[in-house]
């Protein structure tokens, strides 16, 4: 028997290891630092891979199956013929661009039944990370600490160009160098970007966007949010422009897909390109977001969405035109609402204040610290007070209300053109530059107007500008607006008529006619155009009175944040810090688990087709309509090999720290196999961009069972599943159990071991 003291020790130990195990993980980690910072922890949490299996420059590794899809999403390679999986909402623009009222792939879905039917997407890219490197020394090594922030920036830019050039000169690779920890460290990512990416398949919107904006950011969730593309390469397997001679890309690695099923507590990781987080803001920075910026942006977008929705419901043409725009306006709108609530519930401002108190105390303990960090917190306070006095709000209104009007944001490139012509039209260079701009605008116009409805935009104009006029201080009102409002019998609708009627920028015909004139005539017309002059007037206020103050304060805050974080890292020596997301490749890890959204409610960690069918019975919600075919498959339980115990899993929750940009990221199990496709976060967890809460932050993923079922059974595109490396339950022994022997046998690729075994339906 243990004596009480021993028993206590054992219990304490158990408790410690339990809490270490049970604590879900905050953090978006750098692939090349996993070995040093995370490997042990990840393995303790159940991972059966090594850091080298995830990121390696010597052999193929998981990272070779991950791409940045376009500029904002993630994708992963799931076949040895370059098949790329991402979200429906990531491929949305492409699916929409191939659609028309007659051939509406948004509504009907699209499936290429052979490679010839795959559809090219000019401009779309997929970027692999070849390797990454710590370049802090090359970037900061020769920079003295006594420079002003502007001088420092200048020297850094020069160094970055030098290092980029050295790394890529003479190759087809690119190099991205970004600051981490507010510019304390610099890392370089060597990239390989493919340019011939073709659409292979997408389910109908009623599946790919099931739940639409009603369910967006929410759990329980039943969205089949995926689309499939294929990367094509030149004959040498290198990136090439679109050509019918290109062939499917052969990847260094593609993810096997596991149908073994997941259970609560299973290790998961997410590999992708999270775009932006700000986890190290001071309390005032959090309050600026939670109390000024988020509420203002939400208010403006609520109005804009309401107006778009009215017109989309009234006219199917407008519905298609504005589908993608609506989804994107609504997406952040809802996220900001969640973020405000989440920060409040978490008492984020008070938590930050507590940390600041600790910091102040720590600083006060040594004179060295005092001279280094003593000014940081008071200076933050000063800067945020100025921002909170109109600057921040006016900036939000300029961006969300003024530029929320399509005519005004469209006018910006025309204003740029007019200013370019004004600078001179003499030298060959000037002429060439101007002609390039004109051609660019001419080429882009048809696509812009294909998705533009003047009547809708006019309503947005009237309402949003009225909001600006009411909510923004008089001194920040544009002159043009003040003058317009003085007119007799002024109404916002009549003002819209006065701007849109004579403007050359409100229809394709007028824009085309305008751009065919001589540069001088174009300039004259543009500088007299009511849309251009109104934009100019907004710009005057913004660029002369708001932006300079905002930029100066932000620059100072960056410097302060650099110091603050440096100090925090000194103060909390044992804590592992991860850098804020900055659209570079990261790994997050956690486990499969549900959560409690509120006191008396508990959520399961998964949803099923049963639940989806039940939701679809709520016929008053158009977002829940589903195709008959899906209903039939469910009735017949025609699930093929994709069900688990007769049920079809649809989506699941896990505690991986993710953000925008992680859409389309693979959710990978302990063995390196794909189990899910990340597409969202829970609403209660959206404040994780600013402060993470292990109790409530969850990422939402599509389950691979539903994915393969939809491709095979629903779309009849089983040939694509054949292309993939699908691992059916109990079809082979666990390849990683005898770790050493596996690694010795398959030295350069531990993933090569698996054979495709198909079991009967
Ligand atoms: N909330 C997800 C993300 O941030 C999905 C957005 C697209 N879906 C939508 N209904 N708007 O990207
Ligand atoms: N849907 C988001 C995206 O497009 C991911 C959700 C999130 O912000 O975590 O990246």
pLDDT bin (cut points 50, 70, 90) of residue 3 is low
pLDDT bin (cut points 50, 70, 90) of residue 750 is very low
pLDDT over 60 (residue 14): no
pLDDT, tens only, 221-235: 999 999 999 999 999
Helix axes 428-450 and 519-527, enclosed angle (nearest 10): 60
Distance 727 CA to ligand 1 centre (A): 30
Average pLDDT rounded to a whole number, residues 152-157: 96
Instruction: Give the single-character DSSP code of 212.
Output: H
Write down which residue in 516, 541, 567 finishes a domain.
567
Token digits for 294? 């988020």
Q: For residue 216, which ligand has an atom nearest its CA?
A: 1
Q: What's 647's domain CATH number?
A: 2.40.10.120
| Residue keyed to tokens 């100025």 | 386
Nearest CA to ligand 2 atom 6: 680
Residues 247 and 313 in one domain: no
Distance 543 CA to ligand 1 centre (A): 32
Residues 627 and 653 in one domain: yes
Average pLDDT rounded to a whole number, residues 434-463: 97
Distance 332 CA to ligand 2 centre (A): 10
Residues 267 and 406 in one domain: no
Residues 358 and 314 in one domain: yes
pLDDT, tens only, 172-194: 999 999 999 999 999 999 999 99
Convert 408-425 into a string of H (helix), E (strand) and C (coil). HHHHHHHHHHHHHHHHCC
Residues lining ligand 2, judged by CB closer than 6 Å?
Answer: 658-663, 679-681
**Ligand 1 pocket residue status of 91, Cβ below 6 Å:** no
Nearest-10 Cα torsion for 24, 26, 32, 33: -90
Structural domain contains residue 16: no
Catalytic residue among 53, 60, 89, 97: 89
pLDDT over 50 (residue 751): no
Q: Which of 661, 666, 702 to mutate to test the pocket of ligand 2 (most atoms within 8 A of CB)?
A: 661
Catalytic, 154? Answer no
Distance 121 CA to ligand 1 centre (A): 21
The residues near 303 (Cβ < 8 Å, ≥ 6 apart) are 463, 464, 467
Q: Give CA separation, 672 vs 41, 449, 463, 668, in Å.
A: 16, 45, 51, 6
pLDDT bin (cut points 50, 70, 90) of residue 744 is very low
Distance 751 CA to ligand 2 centre (A): 28
Q: Which of 658, 696, 701 to mutate to test the pocket of ligand 2 (most atoms within 8 A of CB)?
A: 658
- pLDDT of 541: 98
Range of the domain at 175: 131-187
Nearest CA to ligand 1 atom 7: 89
Residues 263 and 287 in one domain: no
Distance 661 CA to ligand 2 centre (A): 6
Structural domain contains residue 573: no
Catalytic, 497? Answer no
Structural domain contains residue 343: yes
Tell me the percentage of the chain whose pLDDT exceeds 70.
93
Nearest CA to ligand 2 atom 1: 680
Residue 681 CA: which ligand 1 atom is closest?
1
Task: Note the pTM of the prediction, 2 decimals.
Answer: 0.90
The residues near 434 (Cβ < 8 Å, ≥ 6 apart) are 417, 420, 421, 425, 519
How many structural domains comprise the chain?
A: 3
Residues 109 and 237 in one domain: yes
Residues 548 and 680 in one domain: no
Write down which residue in 540, 567, 594 finishes a domain.
567
* Cα(223)–Cα(299) distance, integer angstroms: 27
Token digits for 367? 């004179």
The strand pair at 73-77 and 83-86 is best described as antiparallel
**Ligand 1 pocket residue status of 701, Cβ below 6 Å:** no
Tell me the percentage of the chain whose pLDDT exceeds 90.
90
pLDDT over 80 (residue 2): no
Catalytic residue among 663, 665, 688, 701: 663
Residue 89 CA: which ligand 2 atom is closest?
4
Catalytic residue among 213, 225, 266, 294: 225
- Which residue from 422, 423, 402 is spatially nearest to 471, judged by alpha carbons? 402
- Which residue from 261, 309, 233 is spatially nearest to 77, judged by alpha carbons? 233
Write down which residue in 567, 590, 606 finishes a domain.
567
Residues 117 and 216 in one domain: yes
Average pLDDT rounded to a whole number, residues 23-34: 88
Structural domain contains residue 733: yes
Structural domain contains residue 359: yes
Average pLDDT rounded to a whole number, residues 458-482: 98
Q: Which of 680, 681, 700, 702 to mutate to test the pocket of ligand 1 (most atoms within 8 A of CB)?
A: 680
Structural domain contains residue 4: no
- Which residue from 716, 708, 405 is spatially nearest to 532, judged by alpha carbons? 405
pLDDT, tens only, 374-431: 999 999 999 999 999 999 999 999 999 999 999 999 999 999 999 999 999 899 999 9
Residues 561 and 582 in one domain: no
Nearest CA to ligand 2 atom 9: 659
Residues 607 and 753 in one domain: yes
**Ligand 1 pocket residue status of 659, Cβ below 6 Å:** no
* Cα(30)–Cα(136) distance, integer angstroms: 14
Distance 327 CA to ligand 1 centre (A): 7
Structural domain contains residue 3: no
Structural domain contains residue 333: no
Residues 415 and 490 in one domain: yes
- pLDDT of 8: 55
pLDDT over 90 (residue 596): yes
Catalytic, 98? Answer no
The residues near 531 (Cβ < 8 Å, ≥ 6 apart) are 407, 408, 410, 411, 499, 500, 503, 505, 506
pLDDT, tens only, 340-368: 999 999 999 999 999 999 999 999 999 99
- pLDDT of 760: 32
Q: The dihedral of CA 259, 260, 261, 262: what is its sign?
A: negative
Average pLDDT rounded to a whole number, residues 22-28: 73
Residues 397 and 273 in one domain: no
Render 33-64 in DSSP notation, one character per residue. GHHHHTHHHHHHTT--S-HHHHS-SSS--GGG
């Amino acid at each position: 028997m243990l004596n009480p003291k021993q028993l206590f020790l054992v219990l304490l130990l158990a408790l410690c290891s339990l809490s270490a195990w049970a604590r879900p993980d905050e953090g978006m980690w750098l692939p090349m630092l996993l070995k040093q910072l995370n490997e042990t922890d990840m393995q303790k949490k159940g991972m059966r891979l090594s850091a080298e299996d995830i990121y390696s420059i010597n052999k193929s590794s998981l990272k070779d199956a991950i791409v940045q899809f376009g500029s904002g999403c993630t994708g992963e390679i799931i076949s040895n013929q370059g098949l790329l999986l991402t979200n429906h909402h990531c491929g949305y623009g492409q699916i929409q661009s191939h659609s028309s009222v007659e051939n509406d792939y948004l509504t009907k879905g699209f499936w290429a039944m052979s490679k010839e039917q795959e559809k090219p997407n000019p401009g779309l890219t997929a970027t692999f990370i070849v390797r990454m490197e710590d370049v802090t020394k090359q970037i900061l090594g020769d920079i003295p600490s006594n420079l002003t922030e502007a001088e420092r920036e200048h020297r850094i830019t020069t160094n970055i160009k030098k290092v980029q050039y050295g790394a890529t000169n003479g190759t087809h690779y690119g190099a991205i160098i970004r600051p981490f920890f507010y510019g304390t460290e610099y890392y370089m990512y060597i990239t390989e970007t493919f340019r011939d990416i073709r659409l292979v398949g997408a389910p109908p919107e009623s599946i790919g966007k099931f739940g639409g904006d009603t369910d967006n950011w929410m759990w329980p969730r039943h969205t089949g949010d995926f689309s499939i593309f294929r990367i094509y390469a030149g004959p040498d397997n290198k990136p090439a422009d679109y050509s019918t001679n290109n062939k499917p890309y052969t990847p260094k690695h593609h993810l096997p897909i596991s149908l073994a099923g997941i259970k609560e507590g299973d290790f998961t990781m997410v590999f992708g390109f999270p775009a932006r987080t700000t986890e190290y803001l001071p309390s005032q920075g959090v309050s600026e977001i939670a109390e000024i910026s988020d509420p203002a942006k939400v208010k403006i977008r609520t109005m804009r969405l309401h107006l778009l929705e009215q017109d989309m419901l009234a006219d199917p043409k407008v519905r298609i035109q504005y589908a993608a725009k609506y989804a994107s306006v609504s997406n952040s709108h809802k996220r900001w609402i969640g973020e405000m609530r989440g920060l409040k519930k978490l008492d984020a401002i008070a938590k930050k204040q507590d940390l600041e108190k600790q910091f102040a105390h720590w600083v006060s303990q040594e004179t060295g610290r005092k001279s280094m960090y003593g000014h940081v917190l008071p200076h933050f306070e000063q800067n945020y007070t100025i921002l909170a006095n109109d600057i921040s709000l006016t900036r939000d209104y300029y961006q969300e209300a003024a530029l929320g009007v399509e005519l005004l944001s469209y006018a910006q490139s025309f204003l740029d053109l007019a200013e370019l012509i004004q600078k001179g039209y003499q030298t060959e260079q000037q002429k060439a530059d101007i002609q390039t701009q004109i051609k660019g605008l001419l080429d882009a116009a048809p696509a812009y107007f294909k998705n533009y409805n003047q009547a809708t935009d006019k309503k947005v104009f009237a309402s949003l500008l009225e909001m600006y006029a009411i909510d923004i201080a008089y001194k920040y009102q544009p002159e043009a607006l003040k003058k317009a409002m003085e007119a007799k019998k002024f109404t916002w609708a009549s003002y819209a008529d006065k701007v849109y009627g004579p403007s050359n920028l409100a229809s394709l015909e007028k824009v085309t006619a305008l751009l065919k004139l001589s540069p001088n005539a174009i300039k004259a017309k543009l500088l007299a155009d009511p849309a251009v002059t109104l934009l100019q007037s907004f710009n005057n206020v913004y660029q002369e009175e708001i932006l300079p103050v905002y930029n100066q304060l932000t620059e100072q805050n960056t410097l302060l944040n650099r110091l603050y974080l440096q100090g925090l890292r000194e103060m909390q020596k044992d804590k592992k810090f991860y850098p804020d997301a900055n659209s570079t490749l990261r790994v997050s890890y956690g486990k499969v688990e549900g959560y409690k959204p509120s006191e008396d409610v508990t959520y399961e960690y998964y949803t099923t087709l049963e639940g989806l069918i039940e939701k679809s019975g709520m016929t008053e919600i158009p977002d829940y309509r589903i195709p008959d075919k899906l209903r039939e498959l469910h009735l017949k339980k025609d699930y093929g090999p994709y069900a688990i115990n007769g049920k079809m899993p649809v989506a699941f929750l896990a505690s991986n720290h993710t953000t925008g940009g992680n859409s389309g990221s693979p959710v990978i199990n302990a063995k390196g196999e794909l189990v899910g496709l990340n597409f969202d976060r829970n609403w209660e967890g959206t404040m994780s961009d600013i402060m993470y809460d292990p109790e409530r932050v969850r990422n939402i993923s599509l389950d691979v069972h539903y994915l393969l079922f939809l491709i095979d059974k629903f779309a009849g595109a089983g040939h694509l599943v054949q292309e993939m490396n699908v691992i059916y339950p109990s079809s082979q022994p666990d390849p990683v159990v005898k770790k050493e022997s596996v690694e010795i046998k398959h030295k350069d690729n531990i993933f090569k071991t698996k054979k495709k075994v198909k079991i009967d339906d």
